[in-house]
A = this chain, B = another copy of it.
Amino acid sequence: MPDEFRPLPLSPVELRSRFRRGDLARPTAGLAPGFVQANLVVLPRALAFDFLLFTQRNPKPCPLLEVVEAGSVEPREMAPGADLRSDIPKYRVYRDGTLVEEPTDLSRLWTDDLVSFLIGCSFTFESALIEAGVPVRHVEQCTNVPMYITSVPTRPAGVFHGPMVVSMRPVPAGKVVRAVQVTSRFPAVHGAPVHIGDPAVIGIRDIARPDLGDPVEFQPGDVPVFWACGVTPQAAAMASKPALMITHAPGHMFITDRRDADFAVL
């Protein structure tokens, strides 16, 4: 296991404080197991209504956990006392749709005009799948989940539009029903799959060549199962080329104080 993925026995608040001090900058997979991790999208206030409406219209790719209004940096529901400008290990800053830097702190960029959106991440349901006996191949293979740009459009809202991006996990045929059941319990983190089986149906030409992330190896009898992916809102936001957009860096998520189990329905 590479060093950067080694587990650390730290609580969410301890991890955030190390990210804040700047003495730890690594992907968050495997950290604070059992606690919800979130995607971050930060936009100027003028785009906030359109983006909020985009998440409301596309709840599977954009399961919204919390909105932090302009003038605040504290996600009071998900992590009271946290500071969104510093408590993520690495950020990405886009200007006019172009990636310009990857800072570990946003203090010098921040203005009172920025609205922050925390969006659910599939780490939560992957733990639940593993606990339910459904193997997660890319975790077994220590690679990033493969992601694909589909031919399925999102429902547009104002300036935001674009195709749905999905993640794919090979699931043994006999476990596909269980995988649907387990992930249906977590609508706040993408929920049930959007498609099972033939990739061509949703416009994916070559399952072996993902648009993002890494290819994953199928085991005999595995069926491809597709879930809506949190990259969708970032891609839609970027396509609108906002003057400024800030996100977490891929894999470097915001670790919250809320437990995965709090977001299960039934």
A contact set with B: CB distance below 8 Å: 48-49, 52-53, 55-57, 64, 67, 69, 77, 155, 157-158, 181, 184, 187, 265-266
Given A56-B67, A184-B265, 17 other A-B contacts at CB below 8 A? A49-B49, A49-B52, A52-B52, A52-B53, A52-B56, A53-B67, A55-B56, A56-B56, A56-B64, A69-B157, A69-B158, A77-B155, A181-B266, A184-B266, A187-B187, A187-B265, A265-B265
Q: Chain B residues near A69: list those with CB within 8 A.
A: 53, 157-158
A49: B residues at CB distance < 8 A: 48-49, 52
Q: Which residues of B contact A77 (CB under 8 A)?
A: 155
16 contacts between A and B (CB under 8 A): A49-B49, A49-B52, A52-B52, A52-B53, A53-B69, A55-B56, A69-B157, A69-B158, A77-B155, A181-B266, A184-B265, A184-B266, A187-B187, A187-B265, A265-B265, A266-B266
Alpha-carbon distance between A69 and B56 when the two chains are bound, in angstroms: 13
CB A46 to nearest CB in B, in angstroms, measures 10
Beta-carbon nearest neighbor of A184 in chain B: B266
CA distance A195 to B158 in the complex (A): 38
A56 to B51, CA, bound (A): 13
Residue of B nearest to A67 (CB): B53
Residues of B within 8 A of A266 (CB): 181, 184, 266
A117 CB, min distance to chain B CBs, angstroms: 10
| Complex Cα gap A48–B64 (Å) | 17
CA distance A157 to B155 in the complex (A): 25
Residues in B neighbouring A52, C-beta threshold 8 A = 49, 52-53, 56
In the bound complex, how far is the Cα of B48 from the Cα of A49, in angstroms? 7
Compute how far the CA of A64 lies from the CA of B53 in the bound complex, rounded to whole angstroms.
Answer: 11
Cα distance A67–B67 when bound, in Å? Answer: 18
Q: Whole-angstrom distance from the CB of A258 to the nearest CB of chain B?
A: 15
- A67: chain B residues at CB < 8 Å are 53, 56-57
> A184 to B264, alpha carbons, bound, how many Å?
12
User: How far apart are A177's CB and chain B's nearest CB, in angstroms?
Assistant: 12
* Bound: A187/B53 CA distance, A: 19
- How far does the alpha carbon of A109 sit from the alpha carbon of B148 in the complex, in Å? 47
- Min CB distance A254 to B, Å, is 18
